[in-house]
Amino acid sequence: MSLTRRQLFGTGAGVGAGLLLAACGSSPSGAPASATPVPSGSGSVAAGPVRGGVLRVGALGKASSITRDPHGVQVNESDYLILALVHDALTVPGASPNVAPRLASAWEPSDDLKRWRFTIAEGATFHDGTPVTAEDVVWSLRRLRATPAGATRLPGIEAGGIRADGRDAVTLTSAYPNSEVPLLLRLT
């Protein structure tokens, strides 16, 4: 039997994907993850997520160069994947349009495209259940702006131009008209 290189790579990718799915679908005891009993507060046993579990992610890259700082420099896609599982951005890549809401449920520009108002999604919380506020987002974006790459990741927007607008909205003011602010906030 003769295989082309394309067929060989396709078969290898299929086998690898199958192994990955098999590894993700079982618990350490060998039982399917969905069948793992979880005690509910009423004394009965229910199937569901386990609080405080361990997340294992197989990722490429050198351990010495891995960073878990969402505002640091990520050297490969695996770092972005892991950060996306732990941190949330205001917007994320979308199909059409190319920006989709995430932590921000909506955004609206001023007529001159210098000021953008982002509304925080209702019910957004941290891992401990604490609500995410506009002040939290302002702190995070100002921290990003203070990094060495901050000027290129948020061009035209100084730290003073990032402000809370009530409890559930953030306003970003640019030094010049910028129609790409929602795009710039993807993965930040």
The CATH number for 174's domain is 3.90.76.10
Residues 30 and 99 in one domain: no
Average pLDDT over residues 68-82: 70
CA distances from 155 to 56, 83, 159, 172 (A): 35, 22, 11, 11
pLDDT digits (tens, 9 = 90+) for 103-126: 999 999 999 999 999 999 999 999
Percent share of the chain, pLDDT over 90: 40
Would you state the pLDDT for residue 67? 66
User: Nearest 5°: CA angle at 76, between 72 and 78?
Assistant: 100
Q: Would 73 be classed as within a structural domain? A: no
Would you state the pLDDT for residue 79? 72
> 132 with 125: CB under 8 angstroms?
yes
Average pLDDT over residues 66-75: 68
Least confident of 24-33, 44-53, 58-67: 24-33
Residues 103 and 176 in one domain: yes
Structural domain for 6, as ranges:
1-45
Q: When comparing pLDDT for 3 and 37, which is higher?
A: 3
Residues 116 and 177 in one domain: yes
Average pLDDT over residues 84-94: 84
Residues 105 and 178 in one domain: yes
pLDDT at 183 over 50: yes
Q: Which residues contact 35 (CB under 8 A, 6 or more apart)?
A: 47
pLDDT at 44 over 60: no
pLDDT digits (tens, 9 = 90+) for 15-34: 666 666 666 655 555 444 44
Average pLDDT over the chain, rounded to an integer: 80
Rg of the chain on CA atoms, in Å = 21
- What is the C-alpha separation between 124 and 166, in angstroms, rounded? 15
Residues 100 and 39 in one domain: no
- pTM value is 0.65
